Amino acid sequence: MRLDVYFTPAELPPPATLTDRAVVVIDVLRATSTMVEALANGAKNIFAVATTDEAVKIAQNIGRDQTLLAGERKCVRIEGFDLGNSPLEMTREAVSGRQIVMTTTNGTAALAAVASARNVLVASLLNVDAVARELVEGDQSIGVVCAGREGRFALEDAICAGHLALRLYRRLGQRKNWSDAALAAAQLARRYVSSIERTLRRAAAGRALIELGFGGDVEYCARLDVHDIVPKYRDRQVAV
Amino acid sequence: MRLDVYFTPAELPPPATLTDRAVVVIDVLRATSTMVEALANGAKNIFAVATTDEAVKIAQNIGRDQTLLAGERKCVRIEGFDLGNSPLEMTREAVSGRQIVMTTTNGTAALAAVASARNVLVASLLNVDAVARELVEGDQSIGVVCAGREGRFALEDAICAGHLALRLYRRLGQRKNWSDAALAAAQLARRYVSSIERTLRRAAAGRALIELGFGGDVEYCARLDVHDIVPKYRDRQVAV
């Protein structure tokens, strides 16, 4: 199995080379954690779009009262939206059976960047083992793209990519065809395994969230394997 | 002291934000290792340019018989050039007192990307402690840019950035204002400290060089603190 990790979307190869690969998208703080939480709590699907205008337009097309608008800019809920980008808002009560239209700063951009891939899986620490199990069964060539933060390396995403790599290694017993970043991510996951929450609080994204009062989100997003689901991204929608 | 590490030049902030910072450029395999070796062995200066044509033109302007043309494409010496991009070629006999015009795939591009910085230092494992010592004395805001490999994360550059970070930490005793990538690089340096050469041989750039017969270069570039020099990049030239 070939495993490439891209610490930022800018490291991705040209879209055409992705078509026959499985691609995993990670944005631990917080887009993919929030998506996983929403779908685990019964949301029907999540439209992931780049801009606020696009989100509003899609919600109007579906029927504004039948959708939840979710998303953030600079970590804070977009004005007029029903929800921000917090996993703690995605309770069963709030989202069960609902369609969500979501736009976030880094996460939805990362999804759009890999839209050409055959198979796009959405991962966070909350569901990393489920994603690993599914990958082991199928794909011979895997790309893991970290959303990063404003185009830069984000420690929490690298750690999540590393947990995915370690779980693939445990099941397959080989890492011959791992990229440099896959090796590095696995080492980081191993190094921080007993202090994930503390590390996320110390990372740039975690510090910014805590400062804005979202410390509970950071704590929640640091949990491993809370949900046994593997959301897929297809036709701009994330669903289980 | 603020410390940012950029694992690829694409992560760099806009040039204007670099002007008041010290920037360290790292391309362990092999451009910055080769430059350090050449300057340690008495080369007068090194013009670092992006293209083969440009290199030839500069050499002709200076006087072709008074310059050494050095560089590689796909790791191999450019046709008609005097030297490739191997530190082992940069013997005192070959380079002492000479001007070198050099073009490489990743390293010279990384230098060009940070040309607007006030102070650009050239680092490799061969001289990382000397660079750390100089930084401690001066700068309050440091950016470390890894050349990477074809736009992607390169393990050997991250390890070198991490050694630089660890040495700054040892001298200053704080890492409060480190970026996520600086923290990660330091962990990688620590993890691989007793197996640097083995790790470089396993990294993508190392494997490619070994396959082409440059195993001796990989071995040499893995050495820590062989030279006590801090080359600077200014007006497209690297010199001590």
Amino acid A139: pLDDT = 64
> Residue A225 pLDDT > 90, yes or no?
yes
Kindly give the interhelix angle for B128-138 and B155-172, rounded to the nearest 10 degrees.
50
Beta carbons of B68 and B41 less than 8 angstroms apart? no
Among B142, B176, B12, B2, which Cα is nearest to A153's? Answer: B12
> Residue A9 pLDDT > 70, yes or no?
yes
Pairing outcome for strands A99-103 and A67-73 = parallel
Amino acid A140: pLDDT = 83
Give the model confidence (pLDDT) of B38-78 as tens digits: 999 999 999 999 899 999 999 999 998 889 999 999 889 99
A5 contacts on B by Cβ (under 8 Å) = 153
In chain A, % of residues over pLDDT 90:
88
A17 contacts on B by Cβ (under 8 Å) = none
Beta carbons of A38 and A92 less than 8 angstroms apart? no
Inter-chain residue contact B204 with A180, CB threshold 8 Å: yes
The torsion defined by the Cα of B171, B174, B178 and B183, in degrees rounded to 10, comes to 80
A183 contacts on B by Cβ (under 8 Å) = 155, 202-203
Pairing outcome for strands A67-73 and A76-77 = antiparallel
Mean pLDDT of all residues in A14-27: 91
Give the model confidence (pLDDT) of B69-111 as tens digits: 999 998 899 999 999 999 999 999 999 999 999 999 888 889 9
Task: Kindly identify which residue of chain A lies nearest to residue B152, measuring between CA atoms.
Answer: A11
Matching residue, tokens 């340019």: B49
- R_g of chain B, CA atoms, integer Å: 16
> Residue A233 pLDDT > 70, yes or no?
yes
- The enclosing H or E element of A131 equals helix A128-138
Order of all β-strands in the sheet with A237-239:
A2-6, A141-146, A22-26, A119-123, A232-234, A237-239, A45-48, A99-103, A67-73, A76-77
> Residue B4 pLDDT > 90, yes or no?
yes
Question: Closest approach of chain B CAs to the CA of A153, in angstroms?
Answer: 6
Residues 6+ apart with CB under 8 A from B170: none
Residues 6+ apart with CB under 8 A from A176: none
| Phi, psi of B149, deg, nearest 5 | -135, 110
In chain A, % of residues over pLDDT 70:
100
Q: How is residue B148 written in tokens?
A: 């990477």
Sign of CA dihedral A94, A100, A101, A103: positive
Q: What three-state secondary structure class fits B2?
A: strand
Greatest Cα-to-Cα distance within chain A, rounded to the nearest angstrom: 51
Supply the mean pLDDT for chain B: 95
Nearest CB partner across the interface for B11, out of A153, A180, A192: A153
Beta carbons of B126 and B231 less than 8 angstroms apart? no
Among A168, A175, A157, which Cα is nearest to A22's? Answer: A168
Beta carbons of B192 and B159 less than 8 angstroms apart? yes
Beta carbons of A124 and A36 less than 8 angstroms apart? yes
B204 contacts on A by Cβ (under 8 Å) = 179-180
Supply the mean pLDDT for chain A: 95
A192 contacts on B by Cβ (under 8 Å) = 187
Task: Kindly identify which residue of chain B lies nearest to residue A175, measuring between CA atoms.
Answer: B202
Give the up-direction half-sphere exposure of residue B114: CA atoms within 13 A in the CB hemisphere.
Answer: 33
Domain range enclosing B217: 2-239
A65 — pLDDT class (breaks 50, 70, 90): confident
Amino acid B127: pLDDT = 98
Beta carbons of A126 and A239 less than 8 angstroms apart? no
Among A109, A87, A121, A110, which Cα is nearest to A221's? Answer: A87
Give the model confidence (pLDDT) of A190-199 as tens digits: 999 999 999 9
> Residue B139 pLDDT > 80, yes or no?
no
Nearest CB partner across the interface for A151, out of B11, B191, B203: B11
Among B211, B237, B227, B193, which Cα is nearest to B75's? Answer: B211
Mean pLDDT of all residues in A153-171: 97
Q: Check which CATH number belongs to the domain holding A141 and give it.
A: 3.90.1560.10
- Determine the Cα–Cα distance for residues B46 and A219; give it in Å rounded to an integer: 51
- Determine the Cα–Cα distance for residues B42 and B36; give it in Å rounded to an integer: 10
Amino acid B118: pLDDT = 86
Mean pLDDT of all residues in A2-13: 96
Matching residue, tokens 């337009």: A57
Comparing A108 with B194, the larger pLDDT belongs to B194
Give the model confidence (pLDDT) of A116-152 as tens digits: 898 999 999 999 999 999 999 886 899 999 999 999 9
Amino acid B100: pLDDT = 97
Whole-model pTM over 0.90: yes
Strands (E), chain A: 2-6, 22-26, 45-48, 67-73, 76-77, 99-103, 119-123, 141-146, 232-234, 237-239
Task: Kindly identify which residue of chain A lies nearest to residue B179, measuring between CA atoms.
Answer: A204
Question: Closest approach of chain A CAs to the CA of B115, in angstroms?
Answer: 20
Structural domains counted in chain A: 1
Lowest mean pLDDT across A23-37, A64-78, A190-204, B212-226 = A64-78
- Determine the Cα–Cα distance for residues B221 and B155; give it in Å rounded to an integer: 13
Give the CA distances from residue B190 to residues A104, B16, B162, in Å, rounded to whole numbers and listed in that order.
35, 33, 8
